[in-house]
């Protein structure tokens, strides 16, 4: 077995704050040549992106891939809808999960696995306002503990 290197291109940091991530899937993505070059250069964003399922096919919408500067006429629309590649069984599972109210699909991460561009898809449930406050409190508490640990480590 060859160990494939994984290089993260884009992260959706807000997803963990706005959603409870129930399950994750790895999906391939259909891109044209200049889009792949832009992604390799790190010229993409998934902040506003979301995922839909139409006719048993999975699509990512709102994902921004900047046009490749040397790409002239071959550049595509930066916000075009792109198809994600998942197994039929995974798609059926996702359709079943999305039928439950409150669940949605969010792209969590874009990364290179070997030569391939992959998208980490999260099956998420939206957080209420009080849940968000709770996660902020936990983050602050962890930060305080780390600060206290650093101070204790300096003096001993």
Which phi and psi (to 5°) does residue 47 adopt?
-60, -45
> pLDDT tens digits for 88-124?
999 888 888 888 888 889 999 999 888 888 999 998 8
Q: How far, in Å, CA of 69 to CA of 40, rounded?
A: 13
Lowest mean pLDDT among 19-23, 50-54, 151-155: 151-155
Instruction: State the DSSP code for 62.
Output: S
Q: What is the pLDDT of residue 100?
A: 82
Q: How far, in Å, CA of 150 to CA of 148, rounded?
A: 5
pLDDT band of 1, cuts 50, 70, 90: very low
In the predicted model, what is the mean pLDDT of residues 144-154? 76
Q: How many CB atoms lie within 10 A of CB 47?
A: 14
For the chain, the structural domain boundaries read 6-127
CA dihedral over 84, 85, 89, 90, signed as positive or negative = negative
User: What share of the chain in percent tops pLDDT 70?
Assistant: 92
Options 3.90.850.10, 3.40.50.300, 2.40.280.10, 1.10.3720.10; which CATH number does 6-127 get?
A: 2.40.280.10
User: Is a pLDDT exceeding 60 seen at residue 2?
Assistant: no
Q: How far, in Å, CA of 54 to CA of 95, rounded?
A: 10
Q: How far, in Å, CA of 71 to CA of 127, rounded?
A: 41
User: What share of the chain in percent tops pLDDT 90?
Assistant: 14
User: Is a pLDDT exceeding 70 seen at residue 141?
Assistant: yes
């Amino acid at each position: 077995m060859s160990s494939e290197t994984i290089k993260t291109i884009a992260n959706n940091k807000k997803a963990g704050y706005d959603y409870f991530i129930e399950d994750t899937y790895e999906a391939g993505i259909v891109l044209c040549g200049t889009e792949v070059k832009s992604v390799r250069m790190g010229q993409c964003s998934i902040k506003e992106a979301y995922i839909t399922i139409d006719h048993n096919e999975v699509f990512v919408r709102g994902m921004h891939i900047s046009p490749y500067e040397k790409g002239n006429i071959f550049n595509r629309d930066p916000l075009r809808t792109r198809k994600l590649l998942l197994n039929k069984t995974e798609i059926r599972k996702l359709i079943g999960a999305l039928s439950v109210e409150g669940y949605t699909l969010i792209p969590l991460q874009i990364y290179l696995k070997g030569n391939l561009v992959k998208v980490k898809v999260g099956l998420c449930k939206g957080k209420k306002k009080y849940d968000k406050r709770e996660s902020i409190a936990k983050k602050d508490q962890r930060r305080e503990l780390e600060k206290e640990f650093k101070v204790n480590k300096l003096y001993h």
